[in-house]
A and B are shown apart, each in its own frame.
Chain A
Amino acid sequence: KNQVEQSPQSLIILEGKNCTLQCNYTVSPFSNLRWYKQDTGRGPVSLTIMTFSENTKSNGRYTATLDADTKQSSLHITASQLSDSASYICVVISYSNYQLIWGAGTKLIIKP
């Protein structure tokens, strides 16, 4: 069964610290993987997309990695800011039918 699991479910860190969010998937065949940021009370907004051949991609203080062999992706946030408080959602696209499999998200809280 195609599944996407994210960990941890929630995370609290101090402002200025780094953190890494995990996304493990069992989707096959794999097309690509996208990370979304969802602020409280808002819709998700895309941060980055990772294709099969990409290992690392950065978007400002956000760096996503992908290991297609182990079917794992991570989102690393550097020098966290209060505005990084949000839920981060991983979604994997299956190549066979372009199905989107959504993770439940990681809720990140940045404390001053």
Chain B
Amino acid sequence: QKEVEQDPGPLSVPEGAIVSLNCTYSNSAFQYFMWYRQYSRKGPELLMYTYSSGNKEDGRFTAQVDKSSKYISLFIRDSQPSDSATYLCAMSERATNKLIFGTGTLLAVQP
């Protein structure tokens, strides 16, 4: 079993839709949870960062962490064609300081 599981998609939604991206994980020691966005032929860029459980909002983006279920989510409101990219979840534990990535979900927002 992989430490981090992420549905690879592709996920296609119409412009303006609410998008929900998810990851599950097995290591209960993970404390830091990140979402990266990767456009085609570019490196990943950090989008959201959350420590432990709870929600974090930044503009149209909301990150949620449910440690009891070992489940994290990224919500995108009012999705735009410019949001079309691959979204990667990543997480780490303080002991190792090493990021473990999901495989990424390819999102396409149709105008």
Do A and B come from the same complex? no
What is the interface of chain A, defined by CB distance below 8 A to chain B? none
Q: Which residues of B contact A (CB under 8 A)?
A: none
